[in-house]
Amino acid sequence: MSEREGEAVVPERIGKYVIRRLLGQGGMGRVYHAYDPLIGRDVAIKVMLPEMAQNPDLKERFIREAQAAGHLRHPNIVTIHDLGEEAGVPYIVMEYLEGEDLDDLIRRRAPLSVLEKLDIIRQVCDALGYAHARGIVHRDIKPANIRLLEGRVPKVMDFGIAKVGTTHLTQTGLTVGTPHYMAPEQIRGERDRIDGRTDIFALGAVLYELLFYRRPFEGDHPLTVFYKILSPEPADIPDVPALPYNPDIRSVLARALAKDPEERYPSAYDMEQDLVALIRRLGEWHDQTTQPVASAVAAETGGMISGVETAVVPGPTSTPSEVSIVLEPAGRTPGRQAWLRWVLLLGSLLGLGLGTGIVYQVLREPAVVPARESTPQATESAKTTPATTSPVPASPSVDAHPTPVVLPPAADPTPPAQAAGETPEPLGTLDLNVLPWAEVLSIRRVSDGWSPPLPKPSYTPLRMPEVRTGVYEVQVRHPRLDRPVTFRVAVEAGKIQKFTYDLQGVVLPEVP
């Protein structure tokens, strides 16, 4: 039995899933609210329209959506549970999300503060950075593809036209995307230039629209919109002097919406870092601002920016994440116990320093060791044994200062022995992985500062074949860490050195 809801026939079942209701319909397919009786959970099922499934290219694009998003596990990306086909029509089973699309929120001009709006985009930045690090570019970021759950937690949806690695899910010469959010290189069909920065441009347009309730590039016809985007003139960003940190907000928008990809943020993580810094300062501004001052800001921004700047601003949303790194430990209540802890700490440091001095003085005295004749074999062994013989990587450490470690300048990429006509240096392979992920800033050999070539940006997991042997100092960063992390790893000749470092185990120094 089937029932009708409008013009769409709602089936009773699709595969093992019991259909409850029709959620919506688009040009490619329908989305149903369904129930998985075996696991006992609600799901959403996206079913391709039968007439569309007759087109092999469109069917492949539909299936590739599940393949693209199916490998992603991030709290701000919709989770794909299953991919199936019934009567020649494919369907995707994903998590059921209760909430509203960002597009609906913008249309009804929801009463959100600037702080809340920036935090929504910050979370989307984290999701896109995660996808980009795995070679997936969304290519259709827009408000309708971002769903807000309870607590203002966004979920990125619809990877139907994603670019997976070097594979495009569209035909040659076909321009895809939503006109108001497409980057110039996307409009021109420059497939080789489409990368994560294309999504950053679209996200900048979403942030603009969320802040000012109008799009950065308006027009009555898609060609008019394309003309404005392709024009060398930058986007017209409103100047609202009463808005706190107005120049910084304008700077973030200008960089994200740069027409030249080289002038945009190099990665979504970099954009997230700027938003995190801005959110912190805005949070302090809200804490220090009185009601009349906040109301004056709301009055000057008028109909463009949400007037509810006087709303209570919640702290950072507590969402499940693949990384749980403490940035700022909770403040301790001052009192007797805190004072005693400091006294005990200072006393321990003084005792440690005194003990170290005594040991040093004792060890300085030359020890009387009976002379022992060394054999030729032992002498030769001593000459050929390097200073660092342990292949075990040194313990990871967190820099005490935000500035990166300054290593010796990189040597000439040509091995010295090879340049002199001698035997080339032995080579090995480095398999580097940082959990859950990180951007690799530098990899330099400790002995001479030589660096293997690195693509920019570089994300883990990273495989580097034909690396010279030796101990390397690796520096990585993650947007939730306010300073880089440095650790060492050894590469041996003819071997594959697999090194995994879990960022979740890093303990940052307490912020004073």
So which residues are the catalytic ones?
140
* Cα 237 to Cα 251: distance, rounded to the nearest angstrom: 9
What is the identity of the amino acid at 147?
A: R
Q: Is 30 helix (H, G, I), strand (E, B) or coil?
A: strand
Sign of CA dihedral 370, 376, 379, 381: negative
Alpha helix (H) residue ranges in 238-335:
246-256, 268-288, 291-301
Q: What is the CA radius of gyration of the chain?
A: 29
* Cα 501 to Cα 481: distance, rounded to the nearest angstrom: 15
Residues 508 and 399 sit within 8 Å (Cβ to Cβ): no
What is the identity of the amino acid at 268?
A: A
Q: Which long-range contacts (CB under 8 A, 24 or more apart) does 30-34 make?
A: 33/96, 34/93, 34/96
How many angstroms separate the Cα of 273 from the Cα of each of 202, 254, 445? 18, 16, 29
β-bridge mates for residue 95, sequence order: 43
Q: Phi then psi for 295, rounded to 5 degrees?
A: -65, -35
* Cα 492 to Cα 512: distance, rounded to the nearest angstrom: 42
Sign of CA dihedral 119, 125, 127, 130: negative
Q: Which long-range contacts (CB under 8 A, 24 or more apart) does 257-260 make?
A: 257/201, 257/204, 257/205, 257/208, 257/216, 258/201, 258/234, 259/184, 259/229, 259/230, 259/231, 259/232, 259/234
* Cα 254 to Cα 400: distance, rounded to the nearest angstrom: 33
What is the identity of the amino acid at 399?
A: D
Which two three-digit tokens encode residue 280?
A: 């912190």
* Cα 294 to Cα 434: distance, rounded to the nearest angstrom: 43
- DSSP 8-state secondary structure symbol assigned to residue 339: H
Residues 213 and 131 sit within 8 Å (Cβ to Cβ): no
β-bridge mates for residue 85, sequence order: 90
Q: How many CA atoms, within 13 angstroms, populate the side-chain half-sphere of residue 182?
A: 23
Residues 277 and 252 sit within 8 Å (Cβ to Cβ): no
- Closest among 308, 300, 316, 287 to 240, alpha carbons compared: 300
Tokens 């600037």 sit on residue: 114
* Cα 124 to Cα 167: distance, rounded to the nearest angstrom: 23
Strands lying side by side in the sheet with 167-168: 136-137, 163-164, 167-168
